[in-house]
Amino acid sequence: MASKKIQITPQPASFRFLTQRKATWISQVCVLVRAVTETVLSFKRLSCVLLLLIAFVCTAKPMHANEAEDTQPNIVVIFIDDMGFADPSCFGNPLVKTPHIDRLAAQGIKLTNFYVNSPICSASRVAITTGQYQGRWKIHSFLNSRAGNANRGMANYLDSSAPTTAKKLKAAGYTTAHFGKWHMGGGRDVDDAPLPEAYGFDESLVSFEGLGDRLISNTKGVERARALGHGKVIPCERWERMQIQTDRTIDFINRHQDKPFYVRLFPNDVHDAHVPRPGSADKFKTVSDDPYARNFFAVLQQMDQQIGRLIATIDALNLGPKTLILFTSDNGPTDWPRKYVTGPPAGFTGPYRGRKWSLFEGGIRMPFIARWTGKIPAGVTDSTSVMSAIDVSPTLCRLAGVKVEDELDGLDRGEVLLGKASPRARPVFWQYGHPHAILKGGKPEHQSPTFAMRDGRWKFLINPDGSEAQLFDLEADEGETTNLLSSQSNRAFAMAAQVSKWADDLGFQYNDAAPLTLPVPTIAIPASNQLLRFVNHGVSGDTSSLQLNGKAWLNLPAFRAPKVAGGRSLQIKATIHPSSSSGVILAHGGNRAGYSVYLDKGQLCFVGRVNGNSTVIRSEVVNDGPASFEAKWNPNGEMYLKVDGKLIGKAEAGIMQQEPADSIQIGADLIQPVGNYKTPNRFSGTIDNLTFKYPNGT
């Protein structure tokens, strides 16, 4: 009879540390088996040998018992809040040194192509926690109140059935803990989110936002937090938080140094507002004239000092050879539009375009350091291997000898951490934007399309309607300045097809029949604390002054339009200098649902449509010169119109039950008319200081 061939699959290097000691035990078993086959002379003798073999196997202790603790590494994950790629000086900070982070990098490996899976906090934290794209759990942006989450089609918290690193490591004998920012559910008015222990953590002390024992540095939020229950609420100053979190982490390590542990230190720093220890920002007066920047530098330096305390504790306990330390950030530095009025926002992205809330590199490419004394080569920089936050969970589990589920999106990148550069076997995908997120960058050039993909050296971005398609060769153009869509059209089409397939898998809307179109000129209009980028069709001027000639208009695609149905408030303000007596200033929607501000024979009008019914407030004074107006529709369904600071009228319009179907147009109403006029009813003149105000989270 032909002998059977046994195929042995080589294990990755992540397992080699765990198999070396197991090999000795296996070889001893093999010796006994060989003895059995060579000395079987009778059934009686065979029975005796088999009994001896069974006794040996039953009394031997294989690797996955006590001996496993000697080879399973301790794991420490440090996940900074809103730290830019170049905020640590070892990644290029031009103004401030971070000596403790720099020392950690010198003792380990730096990855310069590490990506988080979202440019915003909650979504990024879900990805690194689960090893899956956060969209699978309906967490696409930051977690807000119940209403704010519902507005964006989001869950209120990460489902406790999600696979987490902590669950798997705990089952393998690890003691687990989380200290610091949570923001995966609980807080505001969400009082039913699972506690951290439901995700596998033996100990926890959270802050913004979560349940269980938690730090609250907002004095107004202490009583609200206590009303939610579920743990002890500990008030503290904002500048005290990271020290408390680090103290708890150090205490945890001291108590569990004799067996494998997994601990996450997730500081709230360096997220704004930056509130350093009193007086500590004074030393940076020679570095910057901006108090905002000085406060940021002080918070950054204090954070670096706390990280230094943690690393010093690990080394003092001689745990360096047994402990894998990872350091990175959840997304790029803050990018509020208002900060560009007084000075640039704090934080550095190095050569990369965009910041927080952007899928350009500055929003998602993060500093990354890994140290494991004696295992990871020291002083190495890997500038080629792509690794993503969804890879962290399977990588840690494999290094610990723990089985990983097939359905994870992340890949084991243990070889990369151990110093062996390699390409990523699959592309990385992103989705950020409408309809699930409205927060966008503070400069128009920072605002990215909704989808992105990186495959090797190539980066592709696109909107769900095919617009703003962009293809970059990151090896030649790390700043994403040269769009290769036209010259590499076949590659772009192929990547668009991959994005479409991924979007379908996760349940995102994407029109794969739409043609790919290049970015077009836009003008940004302020909306609350954000900028809405309108496609420009011939309008002159800029954000502060729009000049329309009776033929020009601006258009905001419907997929970007803020939601207004369901009793959400809206406010529109501007100063107009009309050169004709009639014309639409702004319109959103059509003859079923929507709103519009327009001139009709010199009279300023504000109209709202609910279920096809029209409600109009019309000024009695004919405006033949400049006029400032404020049009408001509140959550109770009441409409107001003020002209030059005086209330012209108010009316009960009711509440829109459906979202306006059309895009938002400025200077015309191009499709179905909202008001009692014929389309396009173009406006001629100047519109100054036009602003919107929509509810947070829409």
Query: pLDDT at position 623, please?
Result: 66
Query: pLDDT at position 211, please?
Result: 97
If asked whether residues 55 and 87 sit together in one domain, one would say no
Domain of residue 608, residue span: 522-693
Note whether residue 435 is domain-resident.
no
If asked whether residues 332 and 246 sit together in one domain, one would say yes
If asked whether residues 502 and 526 sit together in one domain, one would say no
Note whether residue 517 is domain-resident.
no
Burial of 339 (0-12, 13-18, 19+ CB in 10 A): middle
Local confidence band at 529 (pLDDT 50, 70, 90 cut-offs): confident
Distance, CA of 31 to CA of 38 (rounded, Å): 11
The yes-or-no verdict on residue 639 having pLDDT over 90 is yes
Domain count, the chain: 4
If asked whether residues 285 and 406 sit together in one domain, one would say yes
Note whether residue 5 is domain-resident.
no
Lowest mean pLDDT among 127-136, 438-447, 603-612: 438-447
Burial of 481 (0-12, 13-18, 19+ CB in 10 A): exposed
Please compute the mean of the pLDDT values over residues 594-623 and round it to a whole number. 93
Please compute the mean of the pLDDT values over residues 377-384 and round it to a whole number. 98
If asked whether residues 616 and 533 sit together in one domain, one would say yes
What's the 3-state SS for 318-346?
Answer: CCHHHEEEEEEECCCCCCCCCHHHHCCCC
The yes-or-no verdict on residue 543 having pLDDT over 80 is yes
Is the bond leading into 291 cis (omega within 30 degrees of zero)? no
Q: What is the pLDDT of residues 389-435, one digit of tens each?
A: 999 999 999 999 999 998 999 999 999 999 999 999 999 999 999 88
**Domain holding 681: CATH number?**
2.60.120.200
**Tokens at 482, concatenated:** 């040269």
Note whether residue 71 is domain-resident.
no
Note whether residue 335 is domain-resident.
yes
If asked whether residues 239 and 295 sit together in one domain, one would say yes
Q: What is the pLDDT of residues 54-113, one digit of tens each?
A: 444 444 443 333 444 558 999 999 999 999 999 999 999 999 999 999 999 999 999 999
Note whether residue 442 is domain-resident.
no
If asked whether residues 399 and 490 sit together in one domain, one would say no
If asked whether residues 455 and 360 sit together in one domain, one would say no
Pairwise pLDDT comparison (606 vs 46), residue with the higher score: 606
**Domain holding 308: CATH number?**
3.40.720.10
If asked whether residues 38 and 117 sit together in one domain, one would say no
If asked whether residues 225 and 308 sit together in one domain, one would say yes
Note whether residue 698 is domain-resident.
no
If asked whether residues 475 and 611 sit together in one domain, one would say no
Distance, CA of 606 to CA of 615 (rounded, Å): 8
If asked whether residues 54 and 145 sit together in one domain, one would say no
Q: Is 486 left (phi over 0), alpha (psi -120 to 50) or beta?
A: alpha
Note whether residue 673 is domain-resident.
yes
